[in-house]
């Protein structure tokens, strides 16, 4: 096999919006696998908003990406060389790997996936991190009950679109907030959300939302933070639950991110605002994947992917997340399977 | 008995800090008790920060006080006339009653208390609403574990001083934030807090707190909101819990109460910010009073009261809450018991 490989390293920490300056492409060799290791050829690489946090050098739930080292994220690939008993050449796997054409990794660090159950790319979305994020955040923290109102921001994103559909499966009235008419049409017409708001064109988010949530808001699944969340927080019902999943509007801000303080708003409704990451639910992933795969196979759960082509375009696909360019899960396709 | 009575009504809703303009004194008669009713002579009346919220005309967890009607709050009094089988003249009771010398009320609306177990005034504080607020907020939402760090704001107030002492009983490292050196001395020297900060004289709250919380903050019991909470939220450990009890710094603000948004801070630590009111735990009050009374009788729990004399001074005692004049529970003494 070829020894040609390439990786993308974090060359400089971004201040504000990341640019090409922050990344460097390096030619490297494919490391030969030792006993218990495999070489995985990347087929799809996931870019996700949370990665922006790791590019900064701040205390957070994960270590910052080290400077001048390869950026890591979730990858789907195929085994092209194996020194492990459990995995064979041709097996499809997913795991936390580097932005490289080829990763040499302990076999225990990747999980075999079944391309018959769902397309390979789904394991980076609806059956992977973003689907599980939606599942556990909504059901474990949000706990939507039949007839309640669930609002989700970033509603046409990889997490948001699954949140809204699960909320509908649970009998809730679901309103999504997204950033284009196309996205709003998609979530209402294709995914069955009860209503949607294009926050970029509406005059007053709170007023619009208030009209679409005549019974107030019981669950607010928050992917975005910022002014959208400021507005939703004025409409909370008593004992509202807010799974706090992301704050994409804030990740690239350098101005202090000022807004109305939330304390009095939460006090008025005795609301709960709880941040989480999907990793906190690692011991329950099996349960989540099972439900998601079942709904998928029954046609009760749809998903969308925005697939950018080519390893060289990973940074652009990542930048696009912050411009709202993606509908659903943003992936980068690296190659077609050989096996 | 005399038919002379007086009540204080809400004459005008406050904008910003309340003043004497907002209240009117009215001479009224004592209503004759019907079957099942009693007349309660007020001995102590409680003034509490949360009442400011009810003076505004905004959606909240309680109805706003109606204009031109008597303000209600917790009162300790004695029964001076009874048309009820369960309560006798001379019985001491507590309940949610009007700012009046005499209240005529269904006996079922008040609860008999035991003046031998603790001083009557304690039933408006450590064994009443504020003690129970501290108890349930800290233990049910904060869940402090041995060796963890608990920070409490409004630490020398009626709720805060009990929070810190219970946290000490649970083996936590406890740091209080208060508004005078006298208060800081009181919580550290009398109540056994590990450390205290006078937020009015310290240069940088976050820096000072960081020095006193070398292992970060696991539980932040928040009574105040505003800039103090902005600072504490920068020091949260993973899975920190924030029982949100009050936001006294915001209640009289008319400027929009802007501050740094909390979402990214909470995300970094996967923290939970949960607002509550003590009424949510009504079915567990017995359990709370039992523990509090036990700790009190064992000398493990101390409390302080600031007692203003005279019915006519109720509004001033209330205003004083927002100037930080009180150490511990602010009460107004209306009369000595006759029985």
Structure confidence by residue, pLDDT tens digits, A109-155: 999 998 888 899 999 999 999 999 999 999 999 999 999 999 999 99
Mean pLDDT of chain A: 94
Asked if residue A167 and residue A197 are part of one domain, the reply reads: yes
What pLDDT score was predicted for residue A2? 52
Specify if A190 maps to a domain.
yes
Rounded mean pLDDT for each run of 10 residues along chain B, 339 residues in total: 82 94 96 96 95 84 87 96 97 96 96 90 94 98 98 96 98 97 96 97 96 98 96 96 93 85 93 95 92 93 95 96 89 95
Number of domains in chain B: 2
Contact (CB<8Å) A247/B261: yes
CATH number of the domain that B102 lies in? 3.90.180.10
A266 touching B (Cβ < 8 Å): yes
Distance (Å) from the alpha carbon of A223 to chain B's nearest alpha carbon: 10
Q: Is A76 a domain residue?
A: yes
Query: What are the helix (H) ranges across chain B?
Result: 50-55, 129-136, 160-169, 181-185, 205-212, 226-232, 263-269, 285-297, 314-321
Closest CA to B213 of B177, B165, B189: B177
Give B301 to chain A, closest Cα distance, Å: 27
Q: Residue B250: give the domain boundaries.
A: 129-279
Co-location of B24 and B144 in the same domain:
no
Contact B258, A258 (CB under 8 A): yes
Answer yes or no: do A168 and A272 share one domain: yes
Same domain, A239 and A325: no
Q: Which residue from B minimizes the CA distance to A58?
A: B268
> Is this complex's ipTM strictly greater than 0.90?
no
Please state at what angle helix B160-169 crosses helix B129-136, rounded to 10 degrees. 40
B297 part of a folded domain: no
- Cβ-based contacts under 8 A for chains A and B: 123
Q: What is the C-alpha to C-alpha distance for residues A93 and B266, in angstroms, rounded to an integer?
A: 33
Averaged over A25-40, what is the pLDDT? 96
What number of H helices and E strands is found in chain B?
Answer: 9, 16
Whether B229 sits inside 8 A of A263 (CB atoms) is yes
For residues A209 and A117, state if they share a domain: no
Q: Identify whether residues A176 and A260 lie together within a single domain.
A: yes
Return the CATH number at A218: 3.40.50.720
Residues B116 and B253 in one domain: no
To test the contact with chain B by mutation, choose from A213, A230, A262 the residue with the greatest count of B C-beta atoms within 10 A, namely A262
Q: Report the residue of chain A nearest B255, measured CA to CA.
A: A260
Q: Side by side, which strands form the sheet with B272-275?
A: A195-198, A173-178, A149-153, A217-221, A236-244, A272-275, B272-275, B236-244, B217-221, B149-153, B173-178, B195-198
More confident residue, B56 or A176: A176
The CA angle B232-A281-A233, to the nearest 5 degrees, is 50
- Taking CA atoms, B196 is separated from A187, B159, B175, B264, in Å, by 52, 16, 5, 27
């Amino acid at each position: 096999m070829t020894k040609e490989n390439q990786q993308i390293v974090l060359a400089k920490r971004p201040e504000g919006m990341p640019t090409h300056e922050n990344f460097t492409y390096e030619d490297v060799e494919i490391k030969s696998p030792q006993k218990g290791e495999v070489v995985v050829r990347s087929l799809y690489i996931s870019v996700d908003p949370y990665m922006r946090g790791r590019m900064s050098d701040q205390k957070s739930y994960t270590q910052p990406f080290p400077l001048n080292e390869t950026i890591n994220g979730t990858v789907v690939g195929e085994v092209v060389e194996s020194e492990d008993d459990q995995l064979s050449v041709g097996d499809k796997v997913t795991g936390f790997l580097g932005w490289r054409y080829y990763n040499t990794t302990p076999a225990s660090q990747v999980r075999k996936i079944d391309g018959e159950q769902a397309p390979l790319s789904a394991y980076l979305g609806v059956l992977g991190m973003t689907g599980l994020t939606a599942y556990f955040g909504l059901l474990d923290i949000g706990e939507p009950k039949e007839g309640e109102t669930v609002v989700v921001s970033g509603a046409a994103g990889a997490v948001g679109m699954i949140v809204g559909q699960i909320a509908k499966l649970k009998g809730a009235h679901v309103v999504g907030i997204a950033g284009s008419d196309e996205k709003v049409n998609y979530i209402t017409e294709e995914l069955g959300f009860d209503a949607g708001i294009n926050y970029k064109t509406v005059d007053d988010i709170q007023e619009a939302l208030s009209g679409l949530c005549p019974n107030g808001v019981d669950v607010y699944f928050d992917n975005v933070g910022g002014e959208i969340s400021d507005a939703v927080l004025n409409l909370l019902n008593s004992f509202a639950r807010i799974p706090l999943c992301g704050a994409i509007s804030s990740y690239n801000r350098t101005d202090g991110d000022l807004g109305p303080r939330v304390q009095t708003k939460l006090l008025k409704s005795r609301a709960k605002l709880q941040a989480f990451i999907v990793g906190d639910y690692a011991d329950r992933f099996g349960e989540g994947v099972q439900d998601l795969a079942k709904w998928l196979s029954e046609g009760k759960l749809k998903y969308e992917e925005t697939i950018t082509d080519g390893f060289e375009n990973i940074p652009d696909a990542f930048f696009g997340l912050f411009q709202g360019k993606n509908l659903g899960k943003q992936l980068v396709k690296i190659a077609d399977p050989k096996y």
